[in-house]
Amino acid sequence: MSQTTVESHYTRGDLESALFQALEAAGLDPAHLHPDDLAPVDEFHIRGAEATREMIHLAGFSAEDHVLDVGSGIGGPSRQLARQCGCRVTGLDLTSEYCALARTLAERVGLAKRVEYRQGDAQAMPFEDNAFDGVWTQHMSMNVADKDSLYGEIRRVLRPGGRLAMYEIVAGRGGTVHFPVPWARSPEISHLTTAENLEVDLRARGLEVRYWNDATSPAAAFFSAMLDRVRENGPPPLGLHILLGPDMREMAANMLRNLEEDRIRVVQVVMEG
């Protein structure tokens, strides 16, 4: 399916103003933001900032590294990486609206010197061979049909001996996914691979496993707690519904079902080579 369709799934059109209004409704001043203020919205993956912190610890990037974040969204993970590791991060994302907002937010929190964002397709990356010491990606590959191109591009831009950190949703054994989910409202733009195929395909490109963990159970606990909170209090002023719209609640309920019925799983992966 075309990249335009994936981009239109994520594009809202008025995201920057919607986010700044929501920040004000949450009692924050959009002109004086701390990076952590944005975490309920800019960490667009299961378990949010906590999952990013875990992956940063597992990946072990250093201040000298230049890391590529593939599918960087509105940039929460890249900014957290830059802050915690002291490294330089380039984010690549298909969705123009996300790239523009990621740049604005980096400026607002004083990180524009260490993070930059490029619009582009992970299946044909606009970078030189061996350009990065590390590649980082979270919850992106589910939208990519051509896994061969994606893994080939990751290998090509990662220098020999570099490290790949991945936090991904993969297919389980329970059958087809209940839609809508946060990455797709219908099956056309959803392309899940299994954990087994992911490992085989990355090893075939010379990457060796340094860490592999199934993180499905904490993912289910995350959605269960989110749904309980929304049932009791309604949606919070700041949350992923600002990115995804009013069907976020239905998406969260489907995510819980998909995880409980083994239709999807979640993996944390670090590979090197």
Ligand X SMILES: C[S@@+](CC[C@H](N)C(=O)[O-])C[C@H]1O[C@@H](n2cnc3c(N)ncnc32)[C@H](O)[C@@H]1O
Beta-bridged to residue 132, according to DSSP, are 158
8 Å CB contact between 162 and 272: yes
Residues 154-193 touching ligand X, rule: CB under 6 A, are: 182-183
Question: Of 165 and 208, which has the nearer Cβ to ligand X?
Answer: 165
Stretch that binds ligand X, among 58-66, 72-80, 154-162, 244-252 (CB under 6 A): 72-80
Stretch that binds ligand X, among 28-36, 91-99, 157-165, 204-212 (CB under 6 A): 91-99
Residue 116 contacts ligand X per CB under 6 A: no
Stretch that binds ligand X, among 100-108, 139-147, 224-232, 260-268 (CB under 6 A): 139-147
Residue 130 contacts ligand X per CB under 6 A: no
Structure-token match 């606990």, residue found = 221
Residues 200-259 touching ligand X, rule: CB under 6 A, are: none
Q: Which of 7, 8, 14, 6 is nearest to 101 (CA)?
A: 14
Question: Of 10 and 20, which has the nearer Cβ to ligand X?
Answer: 10
| Eight-class DSSP state of 14 | S
Stretch that binds ligand X, among 115-123, 157-165, 213-221, 264-272 (CB under 6 A): 115-123
Q: Which of 20, 22, 1, 3 is nearest to 11 (CA)?
A: 3
* Contacts by residues 34-40 (CB-CB < 8 Å, ≥ 24 positions apart): 34/109, 35/76, 35/79, 35/80, 35/83, 35/109, 35/111, 38/76, 38/105, 38/109, 39/76, 40/236, 40/238, 40/239, 40/240
8 Å CB contact between 105 and 118: no
Residues 92-111 touching ligand X, rule: CB under 6 A, are: 92-95, 98
Residue 136 contacts ligand X per CB under 6 A: no
Binding site residues, ligand X, CB under 6 A? 3, 6, 10, 43-45, 71-73, 76-77, 92-95, 98, 121-123, 138-140, 143-144, 182-183
